[in-house]
């Protein structure tokens, strides 16, 4: 389980804790520049933490870059594609990722 701090107005995860987890008062002090009513502190399983993060990235201006980067072929895959003369397949994979996470207009 992970304790996360979400800014309600943006949906952004401001902090996440696992292992040694501070109490809520300490977390609120760490985020004192934000109105307490705009903070949500909750404990979630890793899957929910991942989903909240993905949902925020889909809405943020540059989030598509991070989402694409997570799914693009690795550097190793790119090198193999170059050496094996398989750039067409590599470009096809990249196109699928770009369509899945389009650049906002």
**Per-domain residue ranges for the chain?**
1-59, 61-105
Token couple for 8: 């309600």
Confidence class of residue 73 from pLDDT cuts 50, 70 and 90?
Answer: very high
* CA distance linking residue 92 with residue 95, whole number of Å: 5
* Mean pLDDT (whole number) for 68-79: 94
Confidence at residue 28, expressed as pLDDT on a 0 to 100 scale: 86
68: which 2 tokens?
Answer: 């694409």
Q: What is the pLDDT of residues 6-62, one digit of tens each?
A: 999 988 899 889 888 888 888 888 888 889 899 999 999 989 999 998 888 888 888
For residue 16, CA distances in Å to 22, 23, 37, 38, 51 come to: 10, 12, 18, 16, 14
In sign, the C-alpha dihedral spanning 47, 18, 14, 70 is negative
Asked whether residue 105 carries a pLDDT value surpassing 80, the answer given is no
Residue 21 DSSP class? -
């Amino acid at each position: 389980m992970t304790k996360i701090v979400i800014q309600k107005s943006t949906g952004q995860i401001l902090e996440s804790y696992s292992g040694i987890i501070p109490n809520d008062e300490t977390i609120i002090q760490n985020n004192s520049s934000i109105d307490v009513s705009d903070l949500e502190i909750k404990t979630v399983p890793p899957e929910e933490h991942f989903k909240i993060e993905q949902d925020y990235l889909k809405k943020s201006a540059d989030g598509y870059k991070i989402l694409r980067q997570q799914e693009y072929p690795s550097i190793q895959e790119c090198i193999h594609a170059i050496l094996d003369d398989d750039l067409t397949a590599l470009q096809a994979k990249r196109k699928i990722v770009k369509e899945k996470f389009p650049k906002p207009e």
